[in-house]
């Protein structure tokens, strides 16, 4: 990775400030003063020092959290509402969420300090699917869900599910499974609203091949190396 990015990810300074440090000759790589911004380093092999102090790269963290309803996907909330970072160890408060779930939604969300990992899971060009189970009021007929696949327009945006399935239906409520490939803002709720469906509960049950499983609400676990590889295998 580029030297200025390494310094930024290690918490030394912002990327712009790191570039200024490099240009000023304050940074050494393997004992050699570096002033070129195009210099690349291998965090596992190269020794980087700023003003004579060796810089250690931050350990990359990948966390799967079962977000309960009522929590905001943010490090802090001006309104004083609970945030997902309240559920993590204090030393992990610098992690950021990979995508978002709205406050009343629940289910699987990842947190990380690896920007490339976050980008590859959220950018539409990579097509990582997210799976949701949606409980709506009343009995829903399968044909009512067809517009979710063909697409509906809402406030100038085309909303469309990659897959949709009616899991069960009764007089009181129905359970729908949806897969999204892009994940526009509040897309599941907006799709349902366009079809006149009242959402009672919205749970994200999977991201790619990683499922929420038996992880209890409010609890977290770290992703294994094989899970991270599985997530990115289709990219």
Catalytically active residues are 102
What Rg value do the Cα atoms of the chain yield, rounded?
22
Integer Cα distance of 174 and 144 in angstroms: 12
Q: Who contacts 228 (Cβ-Cβ below 8 Å, separation ≥6)?
A: 62, 117
As a whole number of angstroms, the longest Cα–Cα distance in the chain is 73
Burial of 190 (0-12, 13-18, 19+ CB in 10 A): middle
Token pair for residue 46?
């190269």
Integer Cα distance of 3 and 154 in angstroms: 44
Token pair for residue 199?
């959402």
Residue 66 DSSP SS3: strand
- Give CA separation, 194 vs 52, 70, 151, 225, in Å: 60, 24, 10, 40
Token look-up 């539409």 returns 124
End-to-end CA distance of the chain: 20
């Amino acid at each position: 990775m580029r030297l200025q990015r390494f310094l930024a990810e290690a918490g030394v300074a912002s990327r712009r400030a790191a570039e200024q440090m490099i240009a000023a000759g304050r940074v050494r790589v393997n004992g050699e003063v570096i002033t070129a911004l195009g210099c690349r380093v291998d965090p596992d092999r190269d020794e980087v020092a700023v003003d004579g102090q060796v810089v250690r790269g931050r350990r990359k963290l990948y966390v799967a959290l079962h977000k309960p309803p009522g929590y905001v996907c943010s490090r802090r909330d001006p309104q004083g509402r609970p945030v997902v970072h309240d559920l993590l160890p204090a030393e992990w408060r610098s992690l950021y969420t990979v995508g978002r779930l709205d406050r009343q939604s629940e289910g699987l969300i990842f947190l990380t300090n690896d920007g490339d990992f976050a980008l590859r899971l959220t950018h539409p060009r990579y097509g990582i699917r997210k799976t949701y189970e949606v409980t709506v009021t009343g009995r829903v007929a399968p044909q009512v869900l067809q517009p979710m696949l063909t697409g509906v327009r809402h406030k100038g945006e085309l909303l469309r599910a990659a897959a949709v399935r009616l899991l069960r239906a009764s007089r009181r409520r129905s359970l729908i499974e949806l897969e999204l490939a892009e994940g526009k803002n509040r897309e599941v709720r907006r799709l349902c609203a366009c079809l006149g469906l009242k959402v009672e509960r919205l749970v994200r049950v999977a991201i790619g091949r990683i499922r929420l499983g038996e992880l209890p609400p409010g609890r977290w676990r770290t992703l294994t190396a094989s899970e991270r590889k599985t997530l990115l295998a289709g990219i």
